[in-house]
Amino acid sequence: MDSHLPHVFAPGARIGVLTTEPVGLLDYLAPEGGVALGQLVVVPLGPRRVMGAVWGPGQGHFDAARLRPVARLIDAQPLTPGMIEFLDRAADYTLTPLPVMLRMALRAPDLDRPPAERRVIHRAGPAPARLTDARAAVLRVIDDHGGAGFAPSELAQLAGVGVSVVRGLVAAGTLVETAAPVDMPFPRLDASLPGKALDADQSAAVQALRAGIRGGAYGTTLLRGVTGSGKTEVYLEAVAETLRQGRQALVLLPEIALSAEFLDRVETRFGARPGEWHSGITRTERRRLWHMAGRGEVGLVVGARSALFLPFRDLGLIVVDEEHDSSYKQDETVYYNARDMAVLRASIEQAQVVLASATPSVESWVNAGSGPGGGKYARLDLRARYGDAELPQMGAIDLREEEMPSGRWISPTLAAAVDQRLGRGEQALLFLNRRGYAPITTCRACGHQVGCDDCDARMVEHRFQKRLVCHQCGATKPVPTACPACGVEGRMAAVGPGVERLGEEVAARFPDARAVVLSSDLFTSARAIKDTIARIAGGEADIIIGTQLVAKGHNFPLLTLVGVIDADLGLQGADLRAAERSFQLMRQVAGRAGRFGGDAGGRRGLALLQTHQPDHPVIRAILSGDDEAFWDAEAAQRRAAQMPPFSRLAGIILSHPDQPVVEAYAAELARRAAPLRQIGAELFGPAPAPIARVRARYRVRMLIRAPRQAPVQAAISAWLAGAPKAPANLRLSVDIDPQSFL
């Protein structure tokens, strides 16, 4: 933002208002009393009234006589100039229309309504004597959210009942309706409470981060530390320093909805809980946090990727924990990577970024390295686990040499290791990154595999739900008893394992063990998963069977064995990140083992990888423990192949219900690619996407590869601006820095 722009506009001045409608920026007249830059307003648009934000002086290309004044101001803190610049630049970078970007930043309920109208429902007494299903559903929602307040209509909607049911429970005294303690500030976090005593690596890292924060300028640091080394402890000290400077901090976590443990740690360190921003919070909380971020009345926000678009008043620190995690990339509506947008936002706000990981992305590794392309980020290392906990010992189980009857996936060697832990009262985790019962349902008579009607995907049997489920579109159907292709009865068979089936095998082999299957689809709420994780940590299970849900960040003190059922699962993909992803996932899941050292009564953990390819470079790298060599080799390969971060990629995804229509249009686009060639970019495709049909739409992809410094966004804009009009119902998305190539 140019610093000479006025920050207040006099009454009647011509101003530019960015609306949340597709028309985007329009000129209006500043209202009586004037208006500040960034002020949220309601403006007339034709017969309607729409929301917008004052984005700067008017553009001028609009007849002054026809200008209309702003209808009214919204009672919220104006967006800061930094926020405006961030949204502008994020829109440019991701090639997202600016109004869509603004809508993302205003994603808090009822922003344009005065707060006085808010009424909320809380639990007040015991369940009524007459407890209908509808009433029980309401109480379940309220109890699942641990006492949070709901608007009556929101509560009814979440419970899938009419508002009258909620009113009935209020009348019965089970619930109470009160005026909402509207948008209360969050309790102050007390940074002066003592932190933990730090070891040498931790202290050195904290010193460096503190210095950066005190400097008050932009900087990004890769905080690399093996699992259990205390990265969290270190960045909490960076949060403390930020709070002491009077600025706000944001910690992004993958799977935040599940991270009860993290919130407890914040409370222990700072005496109060942070603001939370993720899909599991209520509308009331969402609205409150949005306003408090803008007023500077929440010191620390812990959130999912979209928390990056909160209107912080003065953001001094952004931590991206598990920075390599693919959930930071949003692959719909707005295609953005929260890690990269965090760096952008921090550079505008003069803030510090901490990227924390035991297994950084190759991009961050290169940026923080001393090799070609490096030097952009600082790097700090925590080299050992905290205290006397040791990293787990790693081993491979060569499945070619194990006796594996069909329908069994736990090798005798792994089973023996599990038995040993059971005998010692320790826990074992069996990891299989596949939800459901079996990935394939096939007919033994004709070989037909049951697929989704609308997608090019097999349907996955979920025995717990008694349905086949498409993991692309979510469609379900009953498991057929007769083959849908040849009609033969009784020959349908489940092929391959999912976690549910592995659960069956565990029950049969270890009948006395308490086993629990952890997979997101087996739980009805985030809270239910959280509770189960807490119970596991408390020792209420002997064998945990889980998908990647268990790989992330949990501390299970009794867990000393991790068995990876199929270490080959992720190795095959043609994806440029297949090796990297497998490596990260297996390192992370292995890192759950033996996190508590001798004085906690624990032993050194063991991680066993079942594989048919013990000599595969990724498996060898994991076994050897030489992570640096692995990343250096990955980076060298990317460089040789001119792949990111040594070049830039953009994906173009087109879809349409008719295959010839989308193919013809894509071919036409490809013929007109001169603006891309002008910047030295190459265009690959169009080609059918690897999943060529999703939700009954045919999908075609193109891939653009450009030199690192080339203005790829501008070239794509010019290219698409010169394209012929798209056929009706065609969808085109641009994915800058794609993570998924499906």
Ligand X SMILES: Nc1ncnc2c1ncn2[C@@H]1O[C@H](COP(=O)(O)OP(=O)(O)OP(=O)(O)O)[C@@H](O)[C@H]1O
* Residue 445 sits in the site that holds Zn ion (CB under 5 A): no
Binding letters toward ligand X, positions 207-226, x by CB under 6 A = ------------------x-
Rounded to a whole number of angstroms, the minimum distance from the CB of residue 694 to Zn ion is 7
Q: Which stretch binds Zn ion (CB under 5 A): 90-98, 184-192, 444-452, 490-498?
A: 444-452
Judged by beta carbon, residue 196 or residue 214, the one nearer ligand X is 196
- As a 3-state breakdown, the chain gives helix, strand, coil percent values, each rounded to 5, of 35, 25, 40
Residue 280: name its binding partner from ligand X, Zn ion, none (Cβ under 5 to 8 Å by kind). none
User: Which partner in Zn ion, ligand X, none is near 228 (CB below 5 to 8 A by kind)?
Assistant: ligand X
Is 689 one of the binding residues for Zn ion (CB under 5 A)?
no
Q: Hey, which residues between 447 and 506 contact Zn ion (CB under 5 A)?
A: 452, 454-455, 470, 472-473, 475
- Choices 267-275, 319-327, 445-453, 550-558; region in contact with Zn ion by CB under 5 A: 445-453
Choice from 436, 553, 570, 686 touching ligand X (CB under 6 A): 553
Distance between CA 451 and CA 448 in Å, rounded? 9
Of 589, 606, 601, 512, give the one whose Cα is nearest residue 558.
601
Identity of the amino acid at 698: Y
Q: Was 443 annotated as part of a binding site?
A: yes
Binding mask 223-262 for ligand X (x = CB under 6 A): --x-xxxxxxx-----------------------------
Where would I find the beta strands (DSSP E) of 20-146?
25-29, 35-36, 40-45, 48-57, 72-73, 119-123
d(CA 137, CA 237): 42
Q: Nearest distance from residue 661's CB to ligand X, in Å? A: 48
Query: 641 Cβ partners below 8 Å, 6+ apart?
Result: none
Supply the minimum distance, in Å, between the C-beta of residue 358 and ligand X.
5
Cβ at position 698, least distance to Zn ion in Å = 13
In angstroms, give the least distance from the CB of 623 to Zn ion: 38
**534 marked among binding-site residues:** no
User: 73 in the Ramachandran plot: left (φ > 0), alpha (ψ -120 to 50) or beta?
Assistant: beta
Distances (CA, A) of 280 to 283, 285, 500, 668: 10, 10, 25, 44
Q: Does 555 bind ligand X (CB under 6 A)?
A: yes
Output 469 or 494, the one with its CB closest to Zn ion.
469
Whether 566 and 402 have beta carbons less than 8 Å apart is answered as no
| 394 bridge partner residues | 607
Minimum CB distance to ligand X, residue 627 (Å): 13
Planar angle of CA 720, 724, 726, nearest 5 degrees = 85
Q: Where are the alpha helices (DSSP H) in 591-740?
A: 617-624, 627-640, 659-671, 674-678, 712-721
On whether 620 is known to bind a ligand per the annotation, the reply is: no
CA distances in angstroms from 249 to 37, 281, 321, 391, 483, listed in the order given? 24, 19, 13, 31, 57
HEC letters along 161-196: CCHHHHHHHHHCCCEEEEECCCCCCCCCCCCCCCCC
- Binding letters toward ligand X, positions 155-194, x by CB under 6 A: ----------------------------------------
- The site partner of 473 among Zn ion, ligand X, none (C-beta below 5 to 8 Å per kind) is Zn ion
Torsions phi, psi for 203 (to 5 deg)? -60, -45
Query: With binding defined as CB under 5 A, does residue 655 bind Zn ion?
Result: no
Q: Which is nearer to Zn ion, 473 or 718 (CB)?
A: 473
Q: HEC string of 531-568?
A: HHHHHHHCCCCCEEEECHHHCCCCCCCCEEEEEECCCC
Q: Is 489 annotated as a binding residue?
A: no
Q: What are phi and psi of 507, to 5 degrees?
A: -60, -35
| 585-614: contacts with ligand X (CB under 6 A) | 591
- Does residue number 563 form part of the binding site for ligand X (CB under 6 A)? no
Closer residue to Zn ion in complex, CB, 260/457: 457
Give the DSSP letter of residue 727: P
Identify the residue among 7, 196, 444, 731 touching ligand X (CB under 6 A).
196
Q: What residues form the annotated binding site?
A: 443, 446, 452, 455, 470, 473, 483, 486
Residues lying near ligand X in the complex (CB under 6 A): 196-199, 202, 225, 227-233, 358, 386, 553, 555, 591
Q: What residues form the annotated binding site for Zn(2+)?
A: 443, 446, 452, 455, 470, 473, 483, 486
Residues lying near Zn ion in the complex (CB under 5 A): 452, 454-455, 470, 472-473, 475
